[in-house]
């Protein structure tokens, strides 16, 4: 990769976690979502690296990370423990935290479990996990059916997806905001495809969604009264399902006491499709959250 980005692999929390690193300054950790890899940040990372040490890591089960067996290994808490251990290994006890989709849910859990480690928190295009599952509308259930399809017992969803993983996951990319597959960066898309064609990745991503329903929901229920005090930014796609179904900032207001929010162009995958606008929103926020 260019712009001074170097790629590495760390052994942390019993897992192999690959990551890209660039820049110098206060640390920022970037966490991707489903069904992607850390490649989603490739056009955002250089802008952030002008003033920060930027780490973009694969979540466990995704990309080139290790893929342990068992639903219990894919809770947001376990994913968060990986990333917290990675940053500590790199010498950063406190850092800015940015997540999209599953990465945002991991980031929220990391902040809940270790609030002292988080300098600021940015959550992209999600509402709280507990809220989504506990107060599910038919519109959200229809559009986000994958939460319940992927959570079905193995090997049903794995077998169905493996018949044509490109078709299945590309439909995910294009159906949550009206994008065409050609709108995605060709290099990032090639990296996504290489990851999701691996049967172990397919199984891991299913286990991620199984864990959300079987385990994460209870973890979040136990923390419903917890409010995070760090500076927080909620970004969401102006044309995405979350913006149509929810007042996204209002869903986070009881949980984030220092909250800023903004709608960005596009749907769910605005970091891929509108990287310049996303980078600008992040750099502006990080400048105030330092």
Catalytic positions are: 101, 268
Q: Where are the beta strands (DSSP E) in the chain?
A: 6-12, 15-22, 27-31, 53-57, 95-100, 118-124, 228-237, 256-264
Cβ atoms within 10 A of the Cβ of 213, count?
Answer: 16
Q: In this structure, what token pair is assigned to residue 191?
A: 């990296």
Q: What token pair was written down for 248?
A: 């996204």
The tokens of 1 are what?
A: 């990769």
Name the token pair of 76. 């947001």
CB 209 within 8 A of CB 146: yes
Helices 165-175 and 186-196, interaxial angle, to 10°? 130
Q: CB atoms < 10 A from the CB of 225, how many? A: 7
């Amino acid at each position: 990769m260019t712009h001074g980005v170097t790629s590495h692999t760390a052994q942390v929390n019993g897992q192999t976690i690959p990551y890209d690193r660039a820049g110098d300054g206060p640390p920022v950790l970037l966490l991707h979502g489903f069904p992607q890899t850390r490649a989603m940040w490739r056009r955002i990372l250089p802008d952030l690296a002008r003033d920060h040490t930027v780490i973009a890591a694969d979540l466990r089960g995704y990309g080139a990370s290790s893929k342990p067996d068992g639903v219990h290994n894919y809770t947001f808490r376990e994913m968060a423990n990986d990333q917290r251990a990675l940053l500590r290994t790199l010498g950063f006890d406190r850092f800015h935290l940015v997540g999209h989709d599953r990465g945002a849910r991991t980031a929220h859990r990391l902040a809940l479990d270790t609030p002292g480690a988080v300098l600021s928190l940015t959550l992209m295009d999600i509402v709280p996990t507990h809220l989504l599952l506990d107060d599910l509308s038919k519109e959200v259930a229809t559009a986000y059916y994958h939460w319940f399809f992927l959570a079905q017992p193995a090997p049903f969803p794995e077998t169905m997806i493996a018949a044509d993983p490109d078709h299945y996951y590309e439909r995910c990319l294009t159906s949550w905001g009206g994008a065409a597959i050609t709108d995605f960066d060709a290099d990032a898309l090639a990296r996504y495809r290489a990851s999701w064609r691996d049967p172990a990745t397919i199984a891991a991503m299913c286990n991620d969604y199984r864990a959300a329903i079987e385990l994460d929901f209870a973890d979040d229920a136990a923390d419903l009264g917890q409010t995070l005090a760090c500076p927080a930014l909620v970004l969401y796609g102006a044309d995405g399902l979350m913006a149509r179904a929810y007042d996204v900032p209002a869903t986070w207001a009881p949980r984030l006491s220092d909250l800023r929010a903004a709608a960005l162009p596009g749907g769910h995958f605005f970091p891929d499709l509108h990287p310049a606008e996303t980078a600008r929103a992040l750099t502006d926020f990080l400048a105030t959250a330092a």
